[in-house]
Structure 1
C-alpha cells in the first residue's frame, strides 16, 4: 500500500509538470500572436505565461515582447514598465534601451529619458532615432511653453468611450463627415486581436447649424455592403464625394490577412458593391488612403518591398479608372519607423504621422511642403496639435480657412478621440507717429508712403501725427515720412518668416531744415583732416539721408573749439569739411549738391533741447562762446569744447534736379 504522503508528493509533482506545460503552451501561443501582429492578444497571454513560467530566459524575453506590444498599441506607460523589467533582467538587444527612452519621453519623463538615450548612444553612437529623441526632450518643454497658433478642442459629440478616428469631409464641405469608430452598435461583434477593441466601421455625421453641434454618428450603411463583419475604416472621397476609397481588413482564421483598399461608388444615395483596388500585387498591405484635392493622386500606407522602414507612404497617379504603379515618397518623408495617415490640403501640402521623425512622443503630425527645387521639407506641427500621445489623421475643410479635424489619444481622451483644429490667420499691424526730431512734438499733416515687396504702394496723411495700417505676411516694407520744411525719414519692417501675429511700432523723426544739423560720431585724426575709421558709419548714414532726400543741396560745416590760432583753425576746419565732401562724392553723391565750408571757432554751438537733456550744466539756447566756457569747471570745459568741435550740415535748397549726361550718339 502506497503511503498517503507519497501520493500527495506525486500529485504535487504532476501539477507542477502540468503547470509548466501549460505555461510553455501559453508562452508559445503568445509568441505566435506577437509574430503575426496580434499585440493585444499577445500581451494578455504573455501576462498569464509570465506568472507561471519561471524560466529566466523566457521571462526576460516575455518582458521585452510585452513592452514592444504595448508600445505598438500606444500604451507607452505600460510599455515603459516592461522595458525597464527586460533591461533589469539583462535583455541583450540594445533596442530595449532605445524604446524604453522613447516611452519615457512619451510619458514626459524627460530627465530619465535623456539619461537612457545617452546610455544607448554610448553603445550605438550616431543612431538617428536616439539623437532625434534626445533633441526632442530638450525642445518639447519649449514647444509646450510657447505653442503654435493652432487652436485645438475635443469634439465631444463625435466621441465615444471607444476608438473614434480618421474623420474625412465629404466633397470638401464643412457640414458632413465620415469617421471610423469601434463603438457599440456596429456590424461586427468580433474583437481585434491587435487592439482589443471591436472591429471598426464607417460612420456618418452632419453638422447641425442651429445647435452648432455634430449629429450623433450613424453607420453609413446597414446593408452589409460597406460595413461588414470584417473591419472597415480610414476612408477618402473624390472631390465630388461620389466615390470612396476605404481600408478593409478581412478576417480569415486560417491565415494572416493584410489590410486592403476598396473602391465604392455612390449612386442615387446608395453605395455600390466595393471593388478591391489593385495596386501592384496581391497580398500586399495597403491602408490609410488619401486623395489629392483634384482626385488625381492617391497616397496610401504600405509595408511593401522597396520602402525605408516598417510602414511607408506611397503615391499612385490616376490613369483612367485605375492607378499607376505606386512610387515611394522617399527618405525625406519615410524613415525606418512608421509613417502613416497621409492627407493633402488644398495648397498641396502633405500631412502625415510618424513615430520616427523628431516628435513629442508616439505618433506626431508633420507637414511636408516642397521647396523651389521640388524637395520635401518636413516640419513638426508641435503643440497643441501634437502631444505626448498619438496624434494622427488630419482632415481639412476645402476653404480659405485652415481648419478641420484630427484624432488623438492625448491626456483627457477616453481612447482615440476626434479633435477640431483651427489655424487663425496671422495678423500684422503697424502703428506709428511722426515727430519733430528737435522738439519731440508730433507733426500734423505729414505724408506717409508705404512700399512693400508684395507690390504694396500706399500714400496716406498722418492726421494728428499718427498712422496705422494692416500689413501682409511674407512682405518687407519701407515706411517714409514727408513734410515741407523737414528732411524725410524712413524705416523698414518685415513680416517675412514670422510664425506669430505681431504689432509693429514705426515712429519716424523728421529733422527741421531751418537750423544746422549735427552729424554725430564724425571724428578726425588729432590735428589732422583725416577721417578716423569709426567715422565711416556716421557718414554712411548721411549718404542714406541724401539719397532719401534727393532734391536738397547742403553745406558741410566743420567747426573747431577756441584753442589754437584763428588761421590754423580756419584752415583745419576747411580741410575737414572737404574730407567729408570727398567721402560723400566717393559714395556716389552728386558734387553739385555739396558745399564744403570751414568756420574755425567763429560759430560757437547753441545748446539744443537734446544737448540740455544730456548735460545738466547746460540750458537750451546757451551759446558755447570762449567766455561762457571759461566760466565752467575744468571737466565741464572739456565737454563744452568737444561739443564745439563738430561737423554739421545745413540745407541750402530743396529744388535740386539731377541732370544726366546724354548717352554717346544721342
Structure 2
C-alpha cells in the first residue's frame, strides 16, 4: 500500500515536472513568436502554456501578450477578454487599460469603453489616443444614426470565407479589377504565422455584363512569376494598366524576411520579370503601394526610421526609371499608431486607414485634402464607409460619379470582405407658392425670376400660384415674384456647403397696390416726429421694398388718433411723414420717388381681414372713427386708437425710371 502510494506521488511529480517543462516550452516559444510579430502563432502557443502554467506572473504576462496579439490581427473581441484578464491580474503596463478601451469601442461596448478611457485618462490625462477614443464613443452613435449619403453593399461574388481585400481597378475602368486573397486555390500554400491564414496571392476578376455580376477570381499568373510560394499583397497600377507595383512578403524557413515592393510591366499581354524597388535598404516593411495618376509619385507604407511611430505613409517621386528618396507625409497624416493602405486619386485626394486618428474602431478610412498652403486636412469617412471593425483599401472608378470598392471585416463579413460604395449625387429641389398678402389666396398669373451665383437667370410662370424646380449644388439663389398691381417679393436659398440632398420650401407674398400699405413698428417720441431707434428695422424693410420695386413712386402717409386738436395732429403727422422720407433719402432712395403727406386724424383706419382675425371685437370693413371708438370698452378704445396712429404708404405710379446725369468731361 505504501509502495503504491509512493508510486502515485512519484508519477504525479513526474507529470507535474513534465507539465511545467511543457508549459515553459510553450511560453518561451510564444514569447519568441510574439517578439518577431507572428501573432497568430503566438496566441496558439500562449493558450497551451496558459492552461498548464500555475505561475501567476506568467499568466498575467501571457494574458497581456495574447491580448496584444489578438488586437494586432483584428480579433478585437478576443483581445478585450484577455486585456480584462491581464488588468484583473494587475498588469503593470497601464496601456492595457487604453487598449482594452479601444477593443471595447471596436466591439460597440461604448459605455464600458468610456469608463475604461476615463480610468486611463485619470492617470495619463494628456494622452491623445485616449482622448480621441473617448470623443469617438460620444460621436459614433450620431454617425450611425445619421450616416453619410454613401451606399455600401457586400460584393458576394468577390468574397470567400478567407481574406479578400485591396481591390484596384484596371485602367480606372469598372469592368476589371485586381485583388488580393488568401483563398484556397492560390499558389502560396503555407500558413501565415501572423494571421493564421494561407499566404495571399493576386487575383484578376472581370465584370460579366450579361450576368450583371463579377466573374470568378482567377490567379493573375500561375507560372510563379508574380504569384510565388511567398506572399503577394496589395497592388497599384499605372493609369494605363501596363505597369504594376505590388507587395511581396518573403520567407525563409518560415522566418519573416519583411515586405518589399516589386515592379512589373505588361508587354503584349505578358508581365515582365518582377524587379524589386530599392526604396528603404534594410527596413522591414515597404507595402501597400499607390501610384499617382501621372505615375510620377509613389505612396506606400513603411516602418522606416524617421517616422512618427508604428507604420507611416511615405511618398517617393520618380526620377527617370527609379524612385527618389522617400519623404514622410508628416504629422497631419501619420501618428504614433498605424497609417496603412493609401490610395491617391487623380484629383489629389488621399484616402488611407488609421487606428489612431479618431474613428469608430479598428482601422477607419480617412480622406485627406490639401489646402492652398499645401497643408493636409483630415476627415473621417464616417458610417457607412467606416464601421466598428477594420475598414481599408479604397479603390475608385474614374468618372463623374464617386464609386468603387474597399475592404472590411465589419459585422456580417466572413473575414476581410470586399464591399462596393457609391455616392449618389446630391439632389436639391425647391417648391413654393405665391400668395396675395392681404387675402392669403394663391395668385394665379404671377411670374417668378430666379438668379443664381452659378449663372442661372430664369423667368417662369407660377401656374395657379405654384412653382418648383431643381437647384444646383454650391449655388446661392434669389427668387423674385411679381405681378401687375402688386409689389414684388423675394426670397433667398442656398445649397452652398450642404452635405446632403434637401427639399426647400419658399412661399412669397405679393402685396396689392390698390390700397394703402401699413408699415408696422415705425414709432416716434411721444408728441414728436423724432423716430425711435427701434423703428430702424421697419424703415430698412421699406428701403428693401423700394429697391425690389425700382419703378414705383410712393406717398408716405402718417396718421394720428383724434386726441388733441385737429391742427396739431395734422402738423405732427406731416412732420412724421417727412421724417420717414428723410430717412429713405439718406439710405439712397431717389427723392423723386417719395412724397410726404400727413393726414392727422382725417383718415380713420378701415379694418382689414387680418386685423379682424387678430381682434375679436372688430369686423372687416369697420371704420375706426371717433364715434365708433367711443362705443368700445376703455381697453378696446386704446387698441383702436393705436391702430389709427400709423404710418403707411400707397403706390402713386409704377413707371418711374432713374435719370442719370450725363458724365462731364474734365
TM-score after normalising by structure 2: 0.97
TM alignment of 1:425-440, pairs within 5 A: 425-440=425-440
| Paired residue secondary structure (1:412) | coil
- Kept in 1, the 8 Å contact 2:280–2:304? The answer is no
Q: CA deviation at 1:404?
A: 0.6
| Paired residue secondary structure (2:310) | coil
Pairing 1:509–2:509 present: yes
Give the aligned CA root-mean-square deviation in angstroms: 1.7
User: C-alpha separation between the residues in 2 aligned to 1:373 and 1:658?
Assistant: 47
- Kept in 1, the 8 Å contact 2:283–2:304? The answer is no
Q: CA deviation at 1:616?
A: 2.5
The residue that corresponds to 1:600 in the other structure is: 600
| Paired residue secondary structure (1:257) | strand
Q: What do the CA deviations read for 1:621-647 (whole angstroms, capped 9, x no partner)?
A: 221111122222222222211111111
TM alignment of 1:326-475, pairs within 5 A: 326-475=326-475
The residue that corresponds to 1:492 in the other structure is: 492
Q: CA deviation at 1:338?
A: 0.9
The residue that corresponds to 1:304 in the other structure is: 304
User: C-alpha separation between the residues in 2 aligned to 1:288 and 1:546?
Assistant: 64
User: C-alpha separation between the residues in 2 aligned to 1:209 and 1:312?
Assistant: 39
Of residues 215-224 and 50-59 in structure 1, the stretch that sits farther from structure 2 once superposed is 50-59
Number of equivalenced pairs: 666
- Kept in 1, the 8 Å contact 2:280–2:286? The answer is no
User: C-alpha separation between the residues in 2 aligned to 1:447 and 1:370?
Assistant: 45
| Paired residue secondary structure (2:576) | helix
Of residues 320-329 and 202-211 in structure 1, the stretch that sits farther from structure 2 once superposed is 320-329
| Paired residue secondary structure (2:315) | strand
- Kept in 1, the 8 Å contact 2:605–2:643? The answer is yes
Counterparts in 2 of 1:254 and 1:73: CA distance versus 1, 3 Å: closer
User: C-alpha separation between the residues in 2 aligned to 1:629 and 1:403?
Assistant: 72
User: C-alpha separation between the residues in 2 aligned to 1:61 and 1:531?
Assistant: 82
Q: What do the CA deviations read for 1:114-151 (whole angstroms, capped 9, x no partner)?
A: 11111111111121111111111111111111111111
Counterparts in 2 of 1:384 and 1:530: CA distance versus 1, 3 Å: same
| Paired residue secondary structure (2:251) | coil
User: C-alpha separation between the residues in 2 aligned to 1:282 and 1:243?
Assistant: 25
| Paired residue secondary structure (1:152) | strand
Q: CA deviation at 1:299?
A: 1.1
Pairing 1:148–2:163 present: no
| Paired residue secondary structure (1:341) | strand
TM alignment of 1:225-264, pairs within 5 A: 225-253=225-253, 255-264=255-264
| Paired residue secondary structure (1:258) | strand
Pairing 1:172–2:172 present: yes
Q: CA deviation at 1:3?
A: 4.4
Q: Give unpaired runs (5+ residues) of structure 1.
A: none
Pairing 1:206–2:206 present: yes
Q: What do the CA deviations read for 1:577-624 (whole angstroms, capped 9, x no partner)?
A: 222222222222222322222111111111122212222222222211
User: C-alpha separation between the residues in 2 aligned to 1:585 and 1:280?
Assistant: 75
User: C-alpha separation between the residues in 2 aligned to 1:211 and 1:196?
Assistant: 35
The residue that corresponds to 1:633 in the other structure is: 633
Of residues 460-469 and 119-128 in structure 1, the stretch that sits farther from structure 2 once superposed is 460-469
The residue that corresponds to 1:190 in the other structure is: 190
The residue that corresponds to 1:70 in the other structure is: 70
- Kept in 1, the 8 Å contact 2:250–2:256? The answer is no
Of residues 424-433 and 480-489 in structure 1, the stretch that sits farther from structure 2 once superposed is 480-489
TM alignment of 1:548-567, pairs within 5 A: 548-567=548-567
| Paired residue secondary structure (2:90) | coil
Q: CA deviation at 1:663?
A: 5.4
Counterparts in 2 of 1:472 and 1:373: CA distance versus 1, 3 Å: farther
The residue that corresponds to 1:289 in the other structure is: 289
- Kept in 1, the 8 Å contact 2:257–2:284? The answer is no
User: C-alpha separation between the residues in 1 aligned to 2:63 and 2:286?
Assistant: 31
The residue that corresponds to 1:577 in the other structure is: 577
Q: CA deviation at 1:494?
A: 0.6
TM-score after normalising by structure 1: 0.97
Q: Give unpaired runs (5+ residues) of structure 2.
A: none
